[in-house]
Amino acid sequence: MASGFFVLLDDIAAIMDDVAVMSKVAAKKTAGILGDDLAVNAEKASGFASSRELPVLWAISKGSLLNKVIILPIAFLLSAFFPIAIIVVLVLGGLFLAYEGAEKIYEFIFPHSHEESEGITDETFTEEQILEMEKGKIKSAIVTDFILSVEIVIIALSTVVGKPISQQIVVVSIIALIATIGVYGIVALIVRMDEAGYKLIKFSKKEKSISKFIGNILVKALPLVIKALTVIGTIALLLVAGGIFVHYIPFFHHLSPKVNLPAIIKEFVVGLALGLVVLVIVNLVKKILPKKAAKA
């Protein structure tokens, strides 16, 4: 009886070891897309009154968790009964990510005017208007999170396809939970950088002090950090998309130029190339549809 119990413990330990190894692989695979997730959410969570930043971020975090609750069962069902759908969704998601990355680069090279959105502060609007604007920004952030969450879950799931369903559920659920807690935890620290800086500056009574020096750095660093995350996120988008195309589309997998390029360069080039193709198609559709609507 005792020996049977210890055999069971050995089995559990072996399963946990397998889960740990697979979780590590899945975490590496999804790390790229988390850079964009982080940049997007840091940008969407900023621009609010200081007292509202954390409540808004908490609302987005809850929406993100709800997204995972919706996505995970569907992904597991597809993996169990229609596994080819995982690859299809992965490639379609890759096209979306490539399009987003190419669009950001296009807008940087050929900037065009956007409607400027004012920061939501209690000095400009009434309380009802602030809450209404918050709802709109929260909804937008949750929709974006849903798309990115689909990719994170599918990419994580693709690393454990063929494994027992129990291990798939554990590994992908761990990655989904870590992604949500990790991303929104870091975002919370980022959006409060300037507030921490202001408190340090206010705390210091001397003109030249360490606390005032650090406070000024934190205040000035916030916009730079968000810009840096945007750049890193754009590169990550194209690398993740290119990696999907290279690994799951035979044509790109066997495409080898005369010069032996590193895998990371190949994935970036493939991601950017397909992203530009999708960008051209989307822009053409946008131009054609208004003309048809005007004729009608």
Q: Does the pLDDT at position 15 exceed 70?
A: no
| Domain limits, the chain | 2-295
Mean pLDDT score, 182-211: 77
Supply the pLDDT for residue 41. 67
In this model, does residue 116 exceed pLDDT 50? no
Does 99 or 140 have the greater pLDDT score? 99
The pLDDT of residue 92 is 87
pTM, 2 dp:
0.68
DSSP letters of the chain? -HHHHHHHHHHHHHHHHHHHHHHHHHHHHHHHHHHHHHHHHHHHT-SB-HHHHHHHHHHHHHHHHHHHHHHHHHHHHHHHH-THHHHHHHHHHHHHHHHHHHHHHHHHHS----PPPPPB-TTTS-HHHHHHHHHHHHHHHHHHHHHHHHHHHHHHHHTSTTS-HHHHHHHHHHHHHHHHHHHHHHHHHHHTHHHHHHHHHHH--SSS-HHHHHHHHHHHHHHHHHHHHHHHHHHHHHHHHHHHHHHH-HHHHS---SS---HHHHHHHHHHHHHHHHHHHHHHHHHHHHHHHHH-
Share of the chain above pLDDT 70, in %: 72
pLDDT of the residue at 23: 54
Mean pLDDT of the chain: 74
